[in-house]
């Protein structure tokens, strides 16, 4: 209830006692939904580690005719590869890590979590549809394209409309737009190399490793983020 008192002129004025609880209420911190569980942080950090470890080990087991600079990681999981289970198994695990990370990043808006889950499902689909000994399949190419676009565009879905002082740089609109531009440029490098380029394998490895590391950076930023206050915009606004 609002209390009032009469001043010397005979008019009613709001009592300052009634305003103090309102000020205290506005200053009180509330849970922001940004807390990232340890398992989600671990799954986000494990993805790039699994990727790099898998292609390093698989590369070492291939015959001398295989060139990691020229040939893609899909070849390592294809039917023509030696011990292809190494790369295939890693791709299944990485897809699962993406799904766990999307589930745990509750501080992001729903669309960002869905896009990350799509990237994870695409990775699982790629592992389940390996390349034949020669050429590729429409299904493999389609899943690869969906996964590549999803993870390249993901940073822009992470962007938050809160003031810069209330949001880490990696979650800001400018920061997310910059990262997205870098990811698109890297993806463009891969596309250029697909046209008889001599460094397709290198371009794919660099691009995928960099992009796959970003969910961990975002998870870490959310975990260390400031608590929000009453009246601030949430992740789903």
Residue-wise pLDDT for 115-148, tens only, equals: 999 999 999 999 999 888 787 889 989 999 999 9
- Which of 138, 145, 128 lies closest to 91, judged by CA? 128
Q: What does the DSSP 8-state code read for residue 18? A: H
pTM recorded for the entire structure: 0.77
Q: Is the pLDDT of residue 228 over 50?
A: no
Task: Report if residue 209 sits inside a domain.
Answer: yes
pLDDT score for 134: 80
The values of phi and psi at residue 11, to 5°, are -95, 155
The tokens for 61 are: 């087991």
Task: Report if residue 67 sits inside a domain.
Answer: yes
Counting every residue written for the chain, the total comes to 237
Task: Report if residue 22 sits inside a domain.
Answer: no
Determine the structural domain holding residue 201 and report its residue range.
35-222
User: Nearest 5°: CA angle at 236, between 235 and 237?
Assistant: 95
pLDDT score for 162: 66
Q: What does the DSSP 8-state code read for residue 164? A: G
Work out how many domains the chain is built from and give that number: 1
67: left (phi over 0), alpha (psi -120 to 50) or beta: beta
Task: Report if residue 9 sits inside a domain.
Answer: no
pLDDT digits (tens, 9 = 90+) for 29-76: 334 444 789 999 999 999 999 999 999 999 999 998 889 999 999 999
Beta-bridge mates of residue 12? 6
Task: Report if residue 154 sits inside a domain.
Answer: yes
The values of phi and psi at residue 219, to 5°, are -60, -40
Percent over 90 (pLDDT), the chain: 57
231: left (phi over 0), alpha (psi -120 to 50) or beta: left
Please state the separation of Cα 212 from the chain's center in Å: 7
User: Nearest 5°: CA angle at 137, between 132 and 139?
Assistant: 130
Task: Report if residue 81 sits inside a domain.
Answer: yes
The tokens for 132 are: 């034949």
Query: Rounded distance, CA 136 to CA 195, Å?
Result: 15
The tokens for 98 are: 């993406």
Q: What does the DSSP 8-state code read for residue 29? A: B
Query: Rounded distance, CA 62 to CA 67, Å?
Result: 9
């Amino acid at each position: 209830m609002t209390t009032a008192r009469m001043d010397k002129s005979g008019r009613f004025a709001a009592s300052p006692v009634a305003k103090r609880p309102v000020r205290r209420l506005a200053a009180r911190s509330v849970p922001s939904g940004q807390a990232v569980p340890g398992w989600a942080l671990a799954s986000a950090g494990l993805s790039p580690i699994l990727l790099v470890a898998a292609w390093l080990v698989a590369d070492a087991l291939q015959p001398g005719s295989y060139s990691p600079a020229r040939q893609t990681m899909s070849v390592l999981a294809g039917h023509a590869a030696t011990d292809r289970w190494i790369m295939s198994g890693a791709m299944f695990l990485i897809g699962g890590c993406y799904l766990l990370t999307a589930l745990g990043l509750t501080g992001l808006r729903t669309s960002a979590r869905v896009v990350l889950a799509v990237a994870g499902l695409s990775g699982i689909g790629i592992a389940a549809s390996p390349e034949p000994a020669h050429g590729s399949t429409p299904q493999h190419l389609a899943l690869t394209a969906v996964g590549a676009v999803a993870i390249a565009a993901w940073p822009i879905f992470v962007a938050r409309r809160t003031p810069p002082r209330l949001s880490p740089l990696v979650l800001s609109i400018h920061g997310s737009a910059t990262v997205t531009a870098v990811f698109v440029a890297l993806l463009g490098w891969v596309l250029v190399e697909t046209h008889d380029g001599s460094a397709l394998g290198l371009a794919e490895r660099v691009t995928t490793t960099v992009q796959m590391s970003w969910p961990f950076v975002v998870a870490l930023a959310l975990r260390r983020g400031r608590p929000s206050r009453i009246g601030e915009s949430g992740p789903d606004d």
